[in-house]
Amino acid sequence: MLAGWNKYMSQKQLVLLLSFFVGVFSALAAFLLKQFIHLIQRFLEHYLVQGEYTFWYFVFPMIGITLASLFVHFIVRDDISHGITKILYAISQRKSIIKPHNMWSSVVSSGLTIGFGGSVGAEAPIVLTGAAIGSNLAKLFRLDQKTMMLMIGCGAAGAIGGIFKAPIAGLVFTLEVLMMDLTMTSVAPLLISSVTATAIAYLTTGNEPMFNLMQSEPFQMSRLPWYILLGVMCGLFSLYFTRATNGLERWFKHTFRSLWMKILVGGTTLGLLVFLFPPLYGEGYDIITGLINGDAQSAYQVSPLSFLGDKLPVVIVYFLLVILLKVVASVATNGGGGVGGIFAPSLFVGALVGYVCAHAMRAVGLDVSEANFALTGMAGLMSGVMHAPLTGIFLIAELTGGYHLFMPLMVVSVVAYLFILVFEPHSLYAMRLAQKGELLTHNKDRSVLTLMHLDSVLEQDLQTVHPDMTLGELIKVIAKSKRNIFPVIDDEGKLKGVLLLDEVRNIMFQPRLYDRFTISQLMTAPPAVLLNTMPMEKVMETFEDTGAWNLPVVDEEKRYLGMVSKSKIFNSYRNVLVSFSDE
């Protein structure tokens, strides 16, 4: 029945209908995740902590990480961390196919992680959930790869709209972070999903923005230099956030191999940090609300370190430590087996950076608004970490209702983005794939090459020859071959060289030489050898550098697999380009 949908409607109509349902399901998933997190938090606060900050806060994160890790390891049995990166990988390398379990596994695991105090965000898991809903709905109706990619974008847009009540941010997120091109064909489905999800979020959670902005001041041009300075600081801390996260994740992954060791180290580290620095507990959204509404002291007073006093230098140093340690807490959460994203941590760090900068400026006599700086700092950090200035601008405006602050939001976001571009060409989400040549970008040539695979252009119909074969034996092979190049392989199947027909053309009709020459004497080394794991962009660079028209392909043990010709790549490139061209 589902396969015969085209009897009742066109594909365009089906896509619009599916985009509506993707928005509905993404919003419901976001609502369920938030309710699950709040349910756990309320249970812990009312039945265990009972309003007092106790040693339980050292234990809670370990419990959450353990439960989430065991759930993923024994039930899901798949890696579901780095949700946005998984989406980018699915788009570029898995034909936009996301596994069905991702429609629910991230909700359960991230709910356990964050509910018990994991220092990460729920947004990346819910975006992966929404993308998985879109991908699997498209697969159910047997839609093509291009449409599946659009449905993934609809799921992501719906997830952002549903969890943040931010429809415009949901749309621009798919353009900037998922690197999808906005066309007349895609804009309507993306908007339908995003607006539908946002409407359901308003119905289920009320009309208030996520962060209710009570205190703010109108933008004044005289403060523009200070917003530019804040943008630079956000860019600097974005660079720290990106590199520290990347470095700590690599160290954690290579140092601790055992599941239980990861849980022990990650849980203990996070518990200790949360106990000493309570603002690191959970997503940190209560702290953000306090900062943008002038209540920063409450975040400091609950800390065991509050005995040091509440003078300005002490509070500033405390918040700087929280900023620097937030990355450690987030990596410890995910590295220990928890599941969560960097959306919330980047907003949290951005608000603190903005507040600290404003506090320092006011201390030297500058007239700046702490609430405005905390708000614009969130946009700046998000723009720098995610390389998404439009997402940062619109998300913070929609999250807080601070539309009157578009000018400072734009200034801080753009400055932070331009600053980090000097040092990091890719976002934290994309850099892992970019290093492997597996990242889909807005560059058409690179995107098409990324979607191509070496296996699809590998030619295995060439006649191979052995180094010990004589010229006479070669003549018999040439008589049966339709190609003018012959890979030379040994008894183990390893490539030793290539033999070109042009190299023997002047002696192949002289029978007296048939026993005098062997192929090992006549073969030559190829201009380059391609590894079967090479991305297509690197393959094309090799062709351009060598000027070759045919190159052999080997595996990591140098076993011959086949040949690749430039003409075959061009034909495949044209087919992929036509398949993904705009309608």
Q: Which residue has the higher pLDDT, 515 or 235?
A: 235
Q: What tens digit of pLDDT does each residue of 474-491 get?
A: 888 888 887 888 999 998
- Find the CATH number of the domain harbouring 369: 1.10.3080.10
| CB environment 380-399: b (16+ within 10 A), e (fewer) | bbbbbbbbbbbbbbbbbbbb
Integer Cα distance of 131 and 416 in angstroms: 28
pLDDT above 90 covers a percentage of the chain that reads: 44
Q: Is the domain of 26 the same as that of 140?
A: yes
**Hey, how many other C-beta atoms are within 10 angstroms of the C-beta on 260?**
11
Q: What is the mean pLDDT of residues 104-133?
A: 94
Cα separations (Å) of 545 from 528, 530, 536, 540, 542? 9, 13, 14, 9, 5
Is 212 part of a structural domain of the chain? no
Q: Which residue has the higher pLDDT, 118 or 502?
A: 118
* Phi and psi torsions of 248, nearest 5°: -65, -35
Q: Is the domain of 140 the same as that of 263?
A: no
Q: Specify the DSSP class assigned to residue 389.
A: H
Q: What is the mean pLDDT of residues 185-213?
A: 89
Q: Is the domain of 185 the same as that of 255?
A: no
Question: Residues 407, 389: contact at Cβ < 8 Å?
Answer: no
Is 211 part of a structural domain of the chain? no
pLDDT at 1: 47
Q: Is the domain of 296 the same as that of 410?
A: yes
**343-363 and 224-255 are packed helices; what angle lies between their axes, rounded to 10 degrees?**
140
Q: Is the domain of 467 the same as that of 420?
A: no
* Structure tokens given for 368: 């700046």
Integer Cα distance of 182 and 189 in angstroms: 11
pLDDT at 583: 46
Is 275 part of a structural domain of the chain? yes
Residues 341, 346, 352: CA angle, nearest 5 degrees: 145
Cα separations (Å) of 107 from 167, 211, 299? 21, 23, 28
Q: Is the domain of 145 the same as that of 257?
A: no
Range of lowest pLDDT (85-89, 114-118, 204-208, 429-433): 429-433
CA atoms within 13 A on the CB side of 201: 27
Q: Specify the DSSP class assigned to residue 6.
A: G
Q: What is the mean pLDDT of residues 191-201?
A: 95
CA atoms within 13 A on the CB side of 301: 6
| Number of domains observed in the structure of the chain | 3
Picking from 441, 467, 496, the residue at the C-terminal end of a domain is 441
pLDDT at 46: 79
Q: Is the domain of 297 the same as that of 387?
A: yes
Q: Is the domain of 282 the same as that of 402?
A: yes
Residue 109 has pLDDT above 50, yes or no: yes
Question: Residues 301, 314: contact at Cβ < 8 Å?
Answer: no
pLDDT above 70 covers a percentage of the chain that reads: 88
Q: What tens digit of pLDDT does each residue of 79-107 get?
A: 888 888 888 888 777 778 899 999 999 99
Q: Is the domain of 259 the same as that of 123?
A: no
pLDDT at 446: 56
* Structure tokens given for 50: 């009972």
pLDDT at 472: 87
Range of lowest pLDDT (22-26, 323-327, 358-362, 476-480): 476-480
Range of lowest pLDDT (118-127, 215-224, 246-255): 215-224
pLDDT at 107: 94
Give residue 4's pLDDT band: very low, low, confident or very high (50, 70, 90): low
pLDDT at 300: 65
Q: Which residue has the higher pLDDT, 534 or 131?
A: 131
Residue 404 has pLDDT above 90, yes or no: no
- Give the 3-state secondary structure of residue 506: coil
- Distance in angstroms between the alpha carbons of the first and the last residue of the chain: 27
Is 210 part of a structural domain of the chain? no
Picking from 403, 418, 441, the residue at the C-terminal end of a domain is 441
Q: What is the mean pLDDT of residues 226-233?
A: 96
**Angular region, 349: left φ>0, alpha ψ -120 to 50, beta rest:** alpha
- Find the CATH number of the domain harbouring 543: 3.10.580.10
Is 215 part of a structural domain of the chain? no
Integer Cα distance of 45 and 118 in angstroms: 15
Q: Which residues contact 295 (CB under 8 A, 6 or more apart)?
A: none
pLDDT at 518: 87
Q: Is the domain of 491 the same as that of 401?
A: no
Q: Is the domain of 541 the same as that of 432?
A: no
Q: Is the domain of 437 the same as that of 469?
A: no
Question: Residues 277, 304: contact at Cβ < 8 Å?
Answer: no
Q: Which residues contact 14 (CB under 8 A, 6 or more apart)?
A: 5, 6, 141, 143
Residue 2 has pLDDT above 70, yes or no: no
Q: Pick from 168, 121, 147: which is nearest to 11 by CA?
A: 147
Q: Pick from 327, 373, 328: which is nearest to 351 by CA?
A: 373
**Which strands, in side-by-side order, build the sheet including 530-531?**
530-531, 550-554, 560-565
Q: What tens digit of pLDDT does each residue of 128-185 get?
A: 999 999 999 999 988 888 888 899 999 999 999 999 999 999 999 988 888 766 666 7
Is 392 part of a structural domain of the chain? yes
Picking from 407, 441, 475, the residue at the C-terminal end of a domain is 441
Give residue 557's pLDDT band: very low, low, confident or very high (50, 70, 90): confident
Is 489 part of a structural domain of the chain? yes
Is 270 part of a structural domain of the chain? yes
Domain that holds residue 348: 221-441
Q: Which residue has the higher pLDDT, 396 or 304?
A: 396
Q: What tens digit of pLDDT does each residue of 382-400 get?
A: 999 999 999 999 999 998 8
pLDDT at 292: 84
Residue 51 has pLDDT above 60, yes or no: no
Q: What is the mean pLDDT of residues 252-256?
A: 88
